Structure 1
């Protein structure tokens, strides 16, 4: 169980970092065809897209789903870590 819990904790941390990078990159103009941007979206979209369906952007422009995803990932990582 410890190995599985450690892997889940690591994945939660890695996804958190990737979501933070994606959020920061959204403030900087980048080409949508950029390979790194496309790779980042491929890794983070499975986490963010379900939340986007549940929580629309505030005022039509402010997307808070990265923040919510980070909080959920941290809660999951902490909970799994305590179970181990």
Structure 2
């Protein structure tokens, strides 16, 4: 293998890893939104310790990314569209990464 080919393989692996992390975070955001709806409508037992642990984990993982978006968005009453904005941002980053940045470095 040539050094150029090694670098291209390394960049591909890096981009695939970043893409996988963004994809996993997308699913965590979706699960967190569904969990919050189930919790709000009392579908799941809020006094269950396991449910509380899952809710706490999801909150701790998603809130640092959602908080800055919530600060920027106007108050829409009881509707929180920050997860949708973050999902759109992740989609944009993934598209930019594969369609613009990766072809330049590979």
Question: What TM-score range do you get, normalising by the shorter chain?
Answer: 0.7 to 0.9
Where 1:26 maps in the other structure, the secondary structure is helix
Aligned-pair CA distance for 1:57:
3.7
Q: Secondary structure at the match of 1:61?
A: coil
* Corresponding residue number in structure 1 for 2:35: 25
Instruction: Return the match for 1:47 from 62, 65, 70.
Output: 65
Structure index of larger Rg: 2
Cα deviations by residue, 1:5-57 (Å, 9 ceiling, x for unpaired)? 11221121111111111111111125386111111111111211111111134
The more displaced of 24-33 and 70-79 is 24-33
TM-score normalized by the length of structure 2: 0.69
Which TM-score applies when normalising by structure 1? 0.84
Separation in 2, partners of 1:38, 1:69: 20
Q: Does 1:4 align with 2:20?
A: no
Q: Within 1, Cα distance between the matches of 2:65 and 2:83?
A: 9
Residue 56 (str. 1) matches residue 66 (str. 2) = no
Instruction: In structure 2, list runs of 5 or more residues that go unmatched.
Output: 1-10
Structure 1 vs Structure 2 CA RMSD: 1.8
Q: Moved runs in structure 1, 4+ residues, more than 4 A? A: none
